[in-house]
Amino acid sequence: MPHPQSAFVTLVLGGVRSGKSRLAQQIAERAEHVTFVATAERRDDPEMHAKIERHRSDRPQNWVTIEEPIQLGQTILEAGKNNDILLIDCLTLFASNLLEAYGEDEPGLQAQIDQLCIALKTAPCSVVLVSNEVGSGVVPAYELGRRFRDLVGEINQRVASVADTVLLMVAGLPFSLKGSVPAEVQQ
């Protein structure tokens, strides 16, 4: 069964510090019941910890936060029942988490991507996803870096194919690749 007519799936792509998380948050702020799904895990990394805290302080206080590094499909189906919008930030870390968890187990890794795309097609609420556009950069010099870049590109393509709207952020400005930029966030 497809997601409800009023529900939508939006993918927000962009480079580092392009404004993609800010735009995704602006889209989500239109809703009353929002859950933020963080794919980053708290680790002994002071820089990542500071980034997580900065993003958390930027979000409205009434938003629920779920930390889920891998099971995004399941999270969409479960958390979506009680929300207007799920904001997933970000698919780039999801890809990294998949590589760490599944290593060379390609079927296991692909199963998680499949579950994500199936959940997006049947989501009980709207979903906004954030990801880095990594295809415009330099080819990584090492195999794992190339595998990561390719995996992020594959995930972005698969999510974009099921999304209603795909936006690309460049220098803080949104460009529509599919669908349209929401009127209330146009600059």
Task: Report, as residue numbers or ranges, the catalytic residues.
Answer: 55
Q: What SS3 class is residue 76?
A: helix
60: tokens are 């409205």
Q: Name the DSSP letter for residue 148.
A: H
CB neighbourhood size of 62 (10 A) = 8
* Backbone torsions φ then ψ of 165, nearest 5 degrees: -135, 135
CA nearest neighbour of 84 among 7, 23, 10: 7
3-class SS shares of the chain: helix, strand, coil, % to 5: 45, 20, 35
CB 82 within 8 A of CB 33: yes
Beta-carbon contacts of residue 174 (< 8 Å; ≥ 6 apart): 12, 19, 23, 167, 168, 181, 185, 186, 187
Strands 34-38 and 85-89, sheet pairing? parallel
